[in-house]
Amino acid sequence: MPRTLRSLIAPALVAVLLCSRALAGDFQAVAATDKAWRPRGAHLTLAAALQVAEASAATRGMNVAEFQPPWFRYDYDVYYPDMGLGDYAWAFVYEAKAPGSDSHFMVVVNDRTQYAQFIPGR
């Protein structure tokens, strides 16, 4: 996918995923989940996937302490073919702590390869 197209789609996808969390209820709060949890068949625990996501965010200059504890989803990944079509992935959504801020970002971690894709919001 061309880089310019990806830069337009990524923020829209983050917004859709944030809305789907509320509508579908498929995202869960990391803070309310046992970090040793490993879905059936998964290679990573929640804690291990979160560590990969936070390292990816840090390399992009993001300080996760400035964001609410993330929401996550473990699911079959169909949105990012460069991560390995047919793999399961962890998606972590971070929203800013600051009142009135609509800053957010998402990190998708391939469960098998641990490849992390950082998706900036605003």
Please identify which residue in the block is written with the tokens 């068949």: 41
* CA dihedral sign, ordered 115, 42, 89, 20: negative
Please tell me which residue, 18 or 33, carries the higher pLDDT value. 33
Contact, 105 vs 119, CB < 8 A? yes
Interval 28-48: pLDDT, tens = 999 988 999 998 889 999 999
pLDDT for 94 equals: 94
Q: Where are the domains of the chain?
A: 3-120
Contacts (Cβ under 8 Å, ≥6 apart) of 108: 77, 79, 80, 83, 89, 90, 91, 92, 116, 117, 119
Interval 53-103: pLDDT, tens = 999 999 999 999 999 999 999 987 655 555 555 688 999 999 988 876 668
Contacts (Cβ under 8 Å, ≥6 apart) of 11: 119, 120, 121, 122
pLDDT for 99 equals: 72
Spatial CA neighbour of 89 closest among 108, 67, 103? 108
Please tell me which residue, 22 or 16, carries the higher pLDDT value. 16
Contact, 54 vs 106, CB < 8 A? no
